[in-house]
Amino acid sequence: MRSKVTVVGAGNVGATTALRIQSLGYADVVMVDVVEDLPQGKSLDMLEAGPVVGSDVQVTGSNSYDESADSDLVVITAGIARRPGMSRDDLLLTNMRITSSVTQEVVKHSPNCIIIAVTNPLDAMVQNVYETSGFPRHRVFGMAGILDTARYRTFIAQELKVSVEDVQALVLGGHGDDMVPLVRYTSVGGIPVTELMAEEKIDQIVQRTRNGGGEIVALLKEGSAYYAPSAAITQMVEAVLLDKQRILPACAYLEGEFGINGLCVGVPVKIGANGIESIMQIDLTADENKALQSSAASVQELVDVMREAQASAS
Give the start-to-end residue ranges of the domains of the chain.
3-142, 144-314
C-alpha triplet 19, 21, 23: angle, nearest 5°: 70
Considering the entire predicted model, what is its pTM? 0.95
Sign of CA dihedral 83, 132, 226, 252: positive
The pairing of strands 275-279 and 59-62 is unpaired
Indicate the fold that domain 144-314 takes in CATH. Answer: L-2-Hydroxyisocaproate Dehydrogenase; Chain A, domain 2 (3.90.110)
Q: What is the pLDDT at residue 97? A: 94
Distance between CA atoms of 127 and 238, rounded to whole angstroms? 23
Chain CA centroid to CA 181, Å: 16
Q: Catalytic residue among 4, 88, 138, 175, which?
A: 175
What is the DSSP-derived secondary structure letter of residue 176?
S
The pairing of strands 114-117 and 140-142 is parallel
Chain CA centroid to CA 213, Å: 13
Instruction: Write the CATH number of the domain with boundaries 3-142.
Output: 3.40.50.720
Q: pLDDT per residue over 59-98, tens digit each?
A: 999 999 999 999 999 999 999 876 666 665 677 999 999 9
**Count of C-beta atoms within a 10 Å radius of residue 33:** 23
Q: pLDDT per residue over 10-44, tens digit each?
A: 999 999 999 999 999 999 999 999 999 999 999 99
pLDDT mean over 99-120: 97
- Tell me the β-bridge partners of 191: 188
109 catalytic per annotation: no
